[in-house]
Structure 1
């Protein structure tokens, strides 16, 4: 009898904590999906009932809760047809880059909302307690929150940035917080000047071009929804894939929660051939991967040749994620693999350095395992991530456009020969591991918190209630300047009048005397 009571109590507790969660991750990029699915699987393992809209799908069932895929079929095939050389993005100026992101965002949102599987969901009787949307140039998708009358949670695959800060009134002075795609030193005047220009362009672009276009798409599929302006600023919670161990200390409003590192898993045993290669590397191993979106096989010949020449002169072995069967001119100390279990490799004690594109997942995994990096950033947040690691003394970076044999050899030899990089990375690793809770536990707690408090509007900062000119106190500065001008104007004219008055009196006195 007692056992039955205990079991019933457990069922009641589990049911009480179970939430119906809709997650929307429509970007056809594997690295983004890894994070989105890790978050949603983590929530499902907590006992929640989750539904995920994405171009990918899960094959392994969850142990607890429920995980349902709504797959955006053919998204990846369509994306492949529109393929362009990602290594060319670094040549784009910030205006072209911003307009390109507008196009990609509008196209992705249109295809998501028009997809038959999404339309089927919208026409069903499904109910959700909370809606999680990946914040990535897809703001019209926030209308799902309005449609289901559920609190909105935004998930950001990197740290706080210009795409999210204004939506929750998070302070982000361009004097020291860099925009994406910029090599930035906050103590350099010209860097700050450029950063401010890009910041202003970004704000104008989003408010004058991007948001109106997103509003038009949203109204097409949610005709009864209010204007996007009334939905944009209503996020109850923002989950950031960042942590103080990998990112500089910057302001955070109460609704922003750092959960960086939530996707990390305990290292597993490596395949036999790979295990033997790493175990037998007496001088150590340099691991090289450009991530999932960028592929080494697409590197221009001159960049590839620079890498090969430097690698051939290393005493260390090199493990290279190379997406082809053959690498022309492959040195004897280089091992190729089309796919590699990156977290498990970085956990191996013989890994001496990680040459990376600077993606945030790679940076987080490097910090977690204490492996110094040499970053070769190409686009997006990769430049910022590379700068953060360098600023923290955990590695170095070479802008992709400046990559050559001389710079590569000098930087790599410095990282391999100078113990400070590994020591700094080990210190950062301790910071990452020194946490009160597991990041997925924090995500689960705050999502349930928002549900319990019906949107948790008390986390909303007062700045969201002000128009931009009041938020920036421009009306106050204008008033002060106007009053100051008026005071000086009155003083100036009073002095001018008095001088004129006394001069006239002096003239009259002189006339009388004569």
Structure 2
């Protein structure tokens, strides 16, 4: 009876707190056709709805289950994910590991322009924007090669909140005037950690310039063209880009290295991770029946293990067969010829709940940021096989922090390379200890990341866009921001002074010579 009354009282108290909170109408824009991006967007949207807000989310996926009573509306971009799957099927993602750095820029430009155009052209988006009754108190847009989508905030006359799925980086730093010295902050495309060698710093500086030129001279104009194709009366994209009231960053000092952040840039890394739930019986029995522990192996949602070349699959199976540990392998086919008895395969697995089980000793992964965050949350050592995107940079950071190792995709051709890396991580206790330490850092926060996100979103709404958080650097032209005009002035004045002094010196020399000649002539 006491428990029932306590639970009932708690429910009433929570309902009372929610009632006290002003219900805001929020638009969450996450159209990227990648499950990992959607997981972030839907987690944020559901967290806001659970806090009592009225949430509308634009996404390429549908939520499987929504808690009854939540104000949660989906604008489902049907056909988007199917189109992306078709494109991915035509290209072997595992071969992207060899794409030259310089070629990644046009690839990202093309992908960003494609998702932006298809989003604006979708009938459901056109209907949403044409509806005169649609009102929002804030618009949250995933900032991922889709800058023209900041138009949603302009259209609805609402504060713009950007969400960066990969933390502070060149894509968002320039939008709020955040400093990012390339001497120790690597470009996301460069795969470096914060501890770069001299030549890595040289390349990082050069690529930073190339990346910036690409952004301003190619990507932004391309986005501007798409924007005005669908909305001819829209302002120039330059008037939309720098109006961010807030930037939410999917990062934390436990998952990356410390970087400068302006007051309107807030870390909420780990907001999508929840404590592990009880596993399905078959998985639970498999894990708890493993006397020497379990290794979990997954290449994420885009990369699929079934697409690995046969020789690499065989090398992996031979390695797993030789281990005393059991292996859970996310394998996207029902059959795996030659599968060892100590290996369990499945098309889908509850990754967070598996990583949260104390009998899981090692996580073998591609090194995506969501997987990195989840393994840090649960304190599990990581062996990465990075392929593309930010995966190599994440891998280098985990190595730097002492709880990870990395093996290149090419090295998977040799069975001994895989076995050596696994044995090193399972026998050397430093990896486990460092992983636990990283987990402690992530958990040691004054508030839960989701609560932090909710507070700052509500803060922006309460303060009408929070213009007091905006840095004066955004009011400067780009050449003023980097003090190019000051340097030009100092150099010009210095040259002028040198010229004047040189002229005066010549005049003095000429006068002195004239006097000397007169003295000689008189003598």
Query: What TM bracket, shorter-length normalisation?
Result: over 0.9
Q: Which moved more, 1:489-498 or 1:451-460?
A: 489-498
| Aligned position for 2:123 | 116
- State yes or no: 1:41 paired with 2:46: yes
- Alignment match, 1:3: none
Residue 454 of structure 2 is aligned with which of 444, 449, 453? Answer: 444
Measured in 2, the distance between the counterparts of 1:344 and 1:302 equals 31
Q: How many residues align?
A: 507
Match of 1:105 among 112, 115, 121: 112
**Matches of 2:433 and 2:470 in 1, distance apart?**
40
What are structure 1's unaligned runs of at least 5 residues? 1-6
Q: How far does residue 55 in structure 1 lie from its aligned partner after superposition?
A: 1.1
For residues 81 and 191 of structure 2, the distance between their equivalents in structure 1, rounded to whole angstroms, comes to 31
Match of 1:213 in 2: 222
Cα deviation for residue 170 of structure 1 reads 0.8
- Work out whether residues 277 and 353 of structure 2, in 8 Å CA contact, stay in contact via their aligned partners in 1: yes
After superposition, the Cα gap between the structure-2 partners of 1:216 and 1:347, relative to the gap in structure 1 and judged at 3 Å, is: same
Matched, 1:428 2:438: yes
1:8 Cα offset (Å): 13
Who is 1:165 aligned against? 173
Could you tell me which of 368, 371, 378 is aligned with 1:369? 378
- Relative to structure 1, the CA distance from residue 493 to residue 302 in structure 2 (aligned partners, 3 Å threshold; closer, same or farther) is farther
State the 1:316 CA deviation: 1.8
Residue in structure 1 matching 2:342, options 311, 314, 333 = 333
Tell me whether 1:480 sits opposite 2:480 in the alignment.
Answer: no
CA contact (8 A) 1:45 1:64 kept: no
Q: How does 1:19-418 map to 2 (within 5 A)?
A: 19-83=24-88, 84-124=91-131, 125-184=133-192, 186-405=195-414, 406-418=416-428
Kindly indicate whether the alpha-carbon contact (under 8 Å) linking 1:181 and 1:382 is maintained by their aligned counterparts in 2: no
Q: Is the 8 A contact 2:18 2:52 kept in 1?
A: no
The range that moved more, 402-411 or 86-95, is 402-411
User: How far apart, in 1, do the equivalents of 2:200 and 2:488 lie?
Assistant: 28
CA distance in structure 1 between the partners assigned to 2:461 and 2:366 by the alignment: 38
Unaligned runs of 5+ in 2: 1-11
- Deviation string for 1:229-265 (max 9, x for gaps)? 0011001111111111111000001111111111111
Greater alpha carbon shift after TM alignment, 297-306 vs 457-466: 297-306
Match in the other structure for 1:4: none
**Conserved 8 A contact 2:275-2:356:** no
The whole-number CA distance in structure 1 between the counterparts of 2:484 and 2:312 is 49
Matched position secondary structure for 1:154: strand
8 Å CA contact 1:44, 1:62 repeated in 2: no
Maintained 8 Å contact 1:45/1:63: no
Residues 143 and 222 in structure 1, CA contact (< 8 A), matched pair in contact too: no
Cα deviations across residues 192-233 of structure 1 (Å, max 9, x unaligned)?
Answer: 111122211111111111111111211222222211100110
Partners of 2:422 and 2:369 in 1: how far apart?
20
What SS does the aligned partner of 1:149 have? Answer: coil
Contact 1:90–1:401 under 8 Å retained in 2: no
TM-score by length of 1: 0.94
CA contact (8 A) 2:18 2:51 kept: no
Contact kept in structure 1, 2:54 and 2:71, CA below 8 Å: yes
Displacement of 1:56 in angstroms is: 0.8
Separation in structure 2 between the aligned mates of residue 441 and residue 344 of structure 1, nearest angstrom: 22
More displaced stretch, 302-311 vs 43-52: 302-311
Moved more, 433-442 or 88-97: 88-97
Provide TM-score, normalisation by structure 2: 0.92
Q: Distance in 1 between matches of 2:502 and 2:328?
A: 76
| Alignment check: 8 A CA contact 2:43 2:272 kept | yes
Asked whether the 8 Å contact 1:47–1:64 carries over to 2, the reply is no
Q: Which moved more, 1:56-65 or 1:74-83?
A: 56-65
* Runs of 4 or more above 4 Å deviation: 7-13, 401-404
Q: Deviations over 1:110-144 (max 9, x none)?
A: 11111111112112221111111111111111101
CA distance in 2, matches of 1:8, 1:148: 34
Q: For each residue in 1:358-413, what CA deviation from the matched residue of structure 2 results, as whole angstroms up to 9, or x when unmatched?
A: 11111111111110101111111111211111111111123334544344333222
Residue by residue, what CA displacement relative to the aligned partner does 1:429-475 show, whole Å, maximum 9, x if unpaired?
11111111111111111111111111101111111111111111111
Helix, strand or coil for the counterpart of 1:22?
Answer: strand
Cα 1:9–1:483 change in 2 (3 A) is same
